[in-house]
Chain A
Amino acid sequence: MTENNRFVYTPDPWSGLQKFTDARIGLGRCGSSLPLKQRLEFKLAQARARDAVHQPANLEEIAVQLNKRAYSSLQLGSSVRDREEYLRRPDKGRCLSGESQKILEVQKKGYDLSIVICDGLSAPAIHQSASGVAGGLLDLFRKTPLTVAPTSLVKNGRVAIGDEIGSALGAQMTVVLIGERPGLSSPNSLGAYLTYGPKPGTTDEARNCVSNIRPGGMAVEEAVRKISYLIEKALQQRQTGIELKDTMAEDYLPMAGLLDS
């Protein structure tokens, strides 16, 4: 703070609480308005979030990471032409391209689970968390009798594209991991959407969601535990959505009920 600022700046005596949250608290004020330093920091964060939306996700790299753990994957794309059309036309982002449909047609059918990774609105979320969550889930499933489809990696996809994929693969349920809309403090948030009995036309009340998976939000390990809990319960109840309430016990052991003895 410069000498001049001392006279125009009213500090907030609770600014020490900033260590408990990333929220922009204790910013102080000039009159009742936001001081310039904080205003420019905000603008910088927004500029970065805007850039995150337009950065392409490197899905080839995700395939390499999954392959290292001996998991196979498929490179697919929605019917969107480019990034601008992706933003304006969610309907096209929910449908596979003709080429991708053909790739799925020749796949084996009939699985318990299908994992789908979509770039969505944040490439950084995919780069930081997607293979960790997918790999963690696949490691768990490997210990159970559950059958799992190759992981679908989708460019310019929306959540509902998982319905077309799950249906084409004959999967009992899908888990879509997708880059969420970037926030200023979290341009890297991954969301997981679970759908039992996926088919085109499924609406959002039939899904369960785990959001804010990122460093500083929900950790990858916790996300894997939560998602596997929801999967286990969904397979038991034969449904997802508002009828499937999250009542996970603190000591829940993932897939304990399904582990091979």
Chain B
Amino acid sequence: MSVIGAYATMGLRELLAKASPPRSGDTLAGLAAASEEERVRAQMALADVPLSRFLNECVVPYEQDEITRLIIDGHDKKAFAAIAGFSVGEFRDWLLTDEVTTATLTELACGITPEMAAAVSKLMGIQDLILVASKCSVTTSFRNTIGLPGTLSVRLQPNHPTDDLRGIAASTLDGLCYGCGDAVIGINPATDNVENISRLLQMLDDLIERYRIPTQSCVLTHVTTTMEAMKKGAPVDLCFQSIAGTEKANASFGVNLGLLQEAHEATLALGRGTLGNNVMYFETGQGSALSANGHSGVDQQTLEARAYAVARKFKPLLVNTVVGFIGPEYLYNGKQIIRAGLEDHFCGKLLGVPMGVDVCYTNHAEADQDDMDVLLTLLGNAGCNFIMGVPGADDIMLNYQSTSFHDAAYIRKLLGLTPAPEFQTWLESMSIHDNQGRLLPVSSKNRLLDIKGEVSR
């Protein structure tokens, strides 16, 4: 059989894996192309695959996986009609034309499956991923509006290794004074017990109430723990969960679609949003399925896109790919992390998900702050909905480096981006930003510094 013939008969799952740009996780799983030439040949073959084939050939069997069933049963054939005649390659070329506008992409989102999005991303260069993503617009709201053109929001992440309330308050004040916290004020707790979770939720709720901050809080624990806290009357704004792209991987996280549905309904029932009802916060990341032994022979980037189908079902406020958190066995170095971050953002946006990125790395990966500066700058240009804000880029609880409050100020200044409009108005009223969204020097008499007195007491 000729070389071309071999690719023509190759299953989609294998073709997608071999066409995937290099990353250590696919090599670890034994799925990557064996040579550079094989990778490009696979990309050439993938370019010729009709998009319609993705509806008839599932990368994870329909019978075995509830996420495949969600993707296939929920596919919007009417929206798909606009691209039904394209191959993957033609789809890529078309997306780059000026004929494709924000409105086109918004209408199309439900007609695209995660596998189609992953496939087209594999044929794209960095500039393609940025240009097309920048045309997508996904807006969500709870107490403010996230994802509007010209805005960039920030999750304020005031983690503390012992969940000390004073330490958390100190970091929160720091972030607010740098204009951060409009996406969410979200704590990763060090200890996962219901009492502790409720205590943290109460503290954030008091803070938001007292200073009338137009934002939302979240304590990032398992959905079952959050639901238990809700039952005990804790003030839950957003319900958090880590999700992945296969039923098996989600099972290893202790969730399934039914449980997520239950959590979604329980959170909606609290009715705490003032502007909108997007109440879920999901986190994802390439490699999580393999890490949980649930990859089913599918490459990690395709599986990541499938996680967005799970997210999309529950109309989340925020979806965050924690791109470099998982470690070098999945994304080895800065180059792999940068490309993966842009792919995730692109695929999420194309599928209509409110995508943010935790621009980050661990100390056992071959990466440093320069790599993060590059990814942050590219994502700012791609129209990323939100990034993380961690004091000095150093998360002292989770032991990794993310973006700092200073980084957020940098990218907003460079690209003329502002926070969510309601939050910007609040920052002006607190004399933290001027009306152009620039940082003002914070006076020692600023009312927000009352937090300082309470912490010190």
Interface, chain A (partner B; CB < 8 A): 10, 12-14, 16-18, 20-27, 29, 31-34, 38, 42-43, 45-46, 49-50, 52-53, 87-91, 121, 180-187, 189, 201, 203-205, 209-212, 216-218, 241-242, 245-248
Contact = CB atoms under 8 A, between A and B. Distances in A.
B: interface residue count bin: 35 or more
A117 B449 CA distance: 45
B409 A14 contact: no
B456 interface: yes
B173 A185 contact: no
A23 B292 CA distance: 31
Given A25-B391, A186-B161, A205-B253, A34 B406 contact: yes
A210 B409 CA distance: 35
A203 B252 contact: yes
B190 interface: yes
Tell me which of A10, A31, A181 has the highest count of chain B C-beta atoms within 10 A of its own C-beta: A181
Given A13-B444, A23-B167, A53-B363, A184 B394 contact: yes
B439 A14 contact: no
A31 B396 CA distance: 26
Contacts of A16: 452, 456
A241 B252 CA distance: 10
Contact of B396 (A34, A186, A210): A186
Contact of B327 (A181, A203, A246): A181
A189 B363 CA distance: 13
A127 B24 CA distance: 30
A181 B362 contact: yes
The 4 closest A-B pairs by CB, nearest first: A24-B392, A183-B399, A21-B167, A32-B409
A121 B399 CA distance: 11
B222 A242 contact: yes
Given A10-B441, A21-B170, A205-B252, A183 B404 contact: no
A203 B362 contact: no
Contacts of A201: 293
B62 interface: no
B299 to A, nearest CB: 17
Nearest to A249: B195
A246 B192 CA distance: 7
Nearest to B167: A21
A22 B392 contact: no
B38 interface: no
A22 B292 CA distance: 32
A38 B392 contact: yes
B242 to A, nearest CB: 10
A212 B160 CA distance: 10
Contacts of A22: 161, 167, 396
18 contacts: A10-B441, A12-B442, A14-B170, A23-B167, A23-B390, A24-B391, A27-B406, A33-B409, A42-B393, A46-B369, A181-B363, A184-B363, A184-B396, A185-B394, A189-B399, A203-B251, A205-B252, A218-B162
Interface in B146-168: 158-162, 164, 166-168
Contacts of B404: 24, 34
A29 B439 contact: yes
B180 to A, nearest CB: 12
The dominant DSSP class at the A interface is loop
A247 B195 contact: yes
A14 B161 CA distance: 21
A181 B363 CA distance: 7
A90 B329 contact: yes
A212 B397 contact: yes
A185 B396 CA distance: 6
A27 B409 CA distance: 14
B410 A33 contact: yes
B158 A23 contact: yes
A188 B318 CA distance: 33
Interface string B362-376: 111000110000000
B340 to A, nearest CB: 16
Nearest to A208: B192
Nearest to B179: A32
Interface string B20-39: 00001000100000000000
Contact of A184 (B292, B327, B401): B401
Given A50-B363, A181-B327, A90 B368 contact: no
Contacts of A182: 363-364, 399
B193 A245 contact: yes
B332 interface: yes
B399 A87 contact: no
Contact of B194 (A29, A203, A245): A245
Interface in B426-457: 438-439, 441-444, 446, 449, 452, 455-456
A181 B170 contact: no
A42 B392 contact: yes
A87 B88 CA distance: 35
Contact of B254 (A21, A43, A50, A205): A205
B127 interface: no
Given A121-B364, A186-B161, A245-B193, A33 B406 contact: yes
Given A21-B170, A241-B254, A242-B224, A186 B292 contact: no
Contacts of A91: 28
A184 to B, nearest CB: 4
B228 interface: yes
B52 interface: no
